[in-house]
Structure 1
Amino acid sequence: MFPTRPRWTRRRLLQTAALLAATAGSLPIHAKTVRAEDIQMKTHLVKADGIELATEAFGDPSHTPVLLIMGAMASMLWWSEEFCRRLAAEGRYVIRYDNRDTGLSSTYPPGAPSYTMDDMAEDAFRILDAHGIDKAHLVGMSLGGMIGQLAALAHPGRVLSFTAISTSPMGIDTSGLPGMSAAYQEHAASGEAVDWTDQDQMIDFIVRDTRALAGTRHPYDEAAARALIERDAARSRDFISATNHFMLKGGETWQGKLAGMKPPLLVIHGTSDPVFPIEHGRLLAETVPGARLMEIDGGGHEIHPEDWDAVISALSAQTR
């Protein structure tokens, strides 16, 4: 049984972020020197071990590095540019990137990925190496949260901290936790009728998916979702290859070892997540000693713009 936890209002989220900042330690933090809109961004195509990984970096390379890892079928664009700029304005050097089979990174034939989640965890360090970074804070969303767990377990000396958003624990039994909501399962099943070789059908389905993933806390913006998805599709080398993410395996090496995670862990999870219900986030936080949990009341499988203030404040505290 999980203990009863209080619901989180916007005010309480901000209060908690402030508390995290107050208790995060005495390491120096870079002062804000520029506005978010004035943050510089640089692109770089990392080429290593026969793989190409597209990256964008925001801010001053001398500042504390934060690497953002996105989830399944989603390119770096799903880490909003405004979100990245605002985090960089906190005195961070923020890097977002396209996972394999998304955006401008290497793609593989649909239905035949020759890589695992462990390989994707190593990609994080390929990117850090290419940017001349020894250690960084990692932030992972959904599948990115699973990749981040593997990265933190495999190379604890290179991970300053890890923040897991809307994800599920790796390497432990989660069969007793609630599964996807009935509504989301019904939506997912409708994907069987989609012609995944037809980009228009694929875009329409993903738009419906973003609605199904949304929480109850904020209004859903379909126009913004469609614009993002259409931009993602137009930019991708092979949009359909992203479906390979649903076939990935990995993490077997770390079975039963999650409690030994060394980097400080922050878990951020919405209470209305239809993919990984809140119990997944709670179990992750309870399994790793010293981990902290921020529950977003009514939050879905998303980082909604109206929650950015609280999330960025928490990340600023976690990465100081």
Structure 2
Amino acid sequence: MRINGVELCFETFGSPSDPAVLLIHGACASMLWWETELCTALAARGRFVVRYDNRDTGLSESYPPGQPGYALSDMVLDAVGILDALGVARAHVVGRSMSGAIALALGVEHADRVASLTFVATTTGDPDLPQMTEAFLEASAVESSSDVESIVSVLRAYAGSSPYFDEEHVRRLAVQDVARTVNLESAMTNHFRIEFDAPRDGGFGDVVAPTLVVHGSLDPVFPLAHGEALRDAVPGASLLVLDSVGHDLPRPVWPEFVDALVRHTA
């Protein structure tokens, strides 16, 4: 649909009469990385699940590589526009990695549209928090290329030392993602070039929605201290630590994640 002046692709699971859960993925990732089976499992527990392609991913609006014609504030309005298009007054918003910033801006600037917030593998951005692990920096320090194997390699690095990394599952998703992405080079680069201009007035301490923080114990990108700091920054927030998980959400922990999200969105 044309939303907020651009073409956005989204998909829903479950009944619109159930509480809505809006899944927003992080940098470079299309909605496919909120796996269909995971969305179906949430829908089966009485949730109206919405996933979508952010700009420059999947089938949504694409811009020239290195020249994103939008800022984070535009991506926030995209999320609001999708809720409007679906007739959803309030949604349980789940922001993953970079899109924790989108979730935060929704919670601060559009609090009336947010029933709850969940931050998955994200950070407050405090410069005093631990840096990315040396192992991750070494594994990811390769020239970026837009093909299936490079995506698999990058996601292997994001999983860190987790025993749950499923290379064949990741490769199958990468093949699907490459096939449906308008411009893969733009998808792999443009989110790192945008201006993070939201929220403009407020921060984590101003969030009033019930908040759940979900973080992997082995996250090599934002080590666990980032999740703990985020929990402490949001009034009343709780933290779910996924044992032996990196900067991803692997299949073996889906039951634990789904149970926690269902409780949080009840």
Q: TM-score, normalised by structure 2?
A: 0.95
User: In structure 2, how many angstroms separate the alpha carbons of the residues matched to 1:91 and 1:129?
Assistant: 21
Do 1:153 and 1:254's aligned partners in 2 also have CA atoms closer than 8 Å?
no
Do 1:70 and 1:144's aligned partners in 2 also have CA atoms closer than 8 Å?
yes
| Residue 288 of structure 1 pairs with residue 225 of structure 2 | no
| Residue 313 of structure 1 pairs with residue 259 of structure 2 | yes
Secondary structure at the aligned position of 2:8 is classed as strand
Aligned pair partner of 1:208 in 122, 145, 153: 153
Residues 236-262 of structure 1: CA deviation (Å, up to 9, x unaligned):
111111110111222455476320111
Q: Who is 1:99 aligned against?
A: 54
Do 1:140 and 1:147's aligned partners in 2 also have CA atoms closer than 8 Å?
yes
Task: Tell me how far 1:124 sits from its aligned partner.
Answer: 0.8
Matches within 5 A, 1:223-242: 223-242=168-187
User: In structure 2, how many angstroms separate the alpha carbons of the residues matched to 1:138 and 1:65?
Assistant: 9
Q: Who is 2:87 aligned against?
A: 132
Residues 192-220 of structure 1: CA deviation (Å, up to 9, x unaligned):
xx4x3xx4xx3222111111111544332
User: In structure 1, how many angstroms separate the alpha carbons of the residues matched to 2:149 and 2:214?
Assistant: 29
What are the ranges of 5 or more consecutive residues in structure 1 without an aligned counterpart?
A: 1-45
Do 1:270 and 1:278's aligned partners in 2 also have CA atoms closer than 8 Å?
yes
Q: Who is 1:168 aligned against?
A: 123
| Residue 265 of structure 1 pairs with residue 220 of structure 2 | no
Do 1:215 and 1:298's aligned partners in 2 also have CA atoms closer than 8 Å?
no
Q: Who is 1:150 aligned against?
A: 105
Aligned pair partner of 1:123 in 78, 96, 105: 78
Q: Who is 2:225 aligned against?
A: 279
User: In structure 2, how many angstroms separate the alpha carbons of the residues matched to 1:189 and 1:62?
Assistant: 46
Q: Who is 2:196 aligned against?
A: 250
Q: Who is 2:64 aligned against?
A: 109
Do 1:58 and 1:95's aligned partners in 2 also have CA atoms closer than 8 Å?
yes
User: In structure 2, how many angstroms separate the alpha carbons of the residues matched to 1:47 and 1:176?
Assistant: 41
For 2:104, the aligned partner's letter is Q
User: In structure 2, how many angstroms separate the alpha carbons of the residues matched to 1:144 and 1:308?
Assistant: 20
Task: Kindly report the root-mean-square deviation, in angstroms, between the aligned alpha carbons of the 2 structures.
Answer: 1.4
Residues 284-316 of structure 1: CA deviation (Å, up to 9, x unaligned):
110111000011122100111000000000000
Going from structure 1 to structure 2, the CA distance change for 1:252 and 1:131 (only over 3 Å counts) comes to closer
User: In structure 2, how many angstroms separate the alpha carbons of the residues matched to 1:228 and 1:75?
Assistant: 10
User: In structure 1, how many angstroms separate the alpha carbons of the residues matched to 2:185 and 2:19?
Assistant: 35
User: In structure 2, how many angstroms separate the alpha carbons of the residues matched to 1:50 and 1:254?
Assistant: 21
Task: Tell me how far 1:153 sits from its aligned partner.
Answer: 1.1
Aligned length: 265
Secondary structure at the aligned position of 2:254 is classed as helix
Going from structure 1 to structure 2, the CA distance change for 1:252 and 1:52 (only over 3 Å counts) comes to closer
For 1:187, the aligned partner's letter is A
Q: Who is 1:35 aligned against?
A: none
Going from structure 1 to structure 2, the CA distance change for 1:182 and 1:255 (only over 3 Å counts) comes to farther
Q: Who is 1:33 aligned against?
A: none
User: In structure 2, how many angstroms separate the alpha carbons of the residues matched to 1:49 and 1:136?
Assistant: 18
User: In structure 1, how many angstroms separate the alpha carbons of the residues matched to 2:239 and 2:170?
Assistant: 28
Identity of aligned pairs, percent?
Answer: 44
Do 2:152 and 2:167's aligned partners in 1 also have CA atoms closer than 8 Å?
yes
| Residue 190 of structure 1 pairs with residue 142 of structure 2 | yes
Going from structure 1 to structure 2, the CA distance change for 1:259 and 1:210 (only over 3 Å counts) comes to same
Task: Tell me how far 1:152 sits from its aligned partner.
Answer: 1.0
Task: Tell me how far 1:110 sits from its aligned partner.
Answer: 0.6
Task: Tell me how far 1:49 sits from its aligned partner.
Answer: 3.0
Do 1:150 and 1:251's aligned partners in 2 also have CA atoms closer than 8 Å?
no
Q: Who is 1:51 aligned against?
A: 6
User: In structure 2, how many angstroms separate the alpha carbons of the residues matched to 1:223 and 1:275?
Assistant: 22
Runs of at least 4 residues off by over 2 Å: 215-220, 251-257
Secondary structure at the aligned position of 1:290 is classed as coil
For 2:72, the aligned partner's letter is M
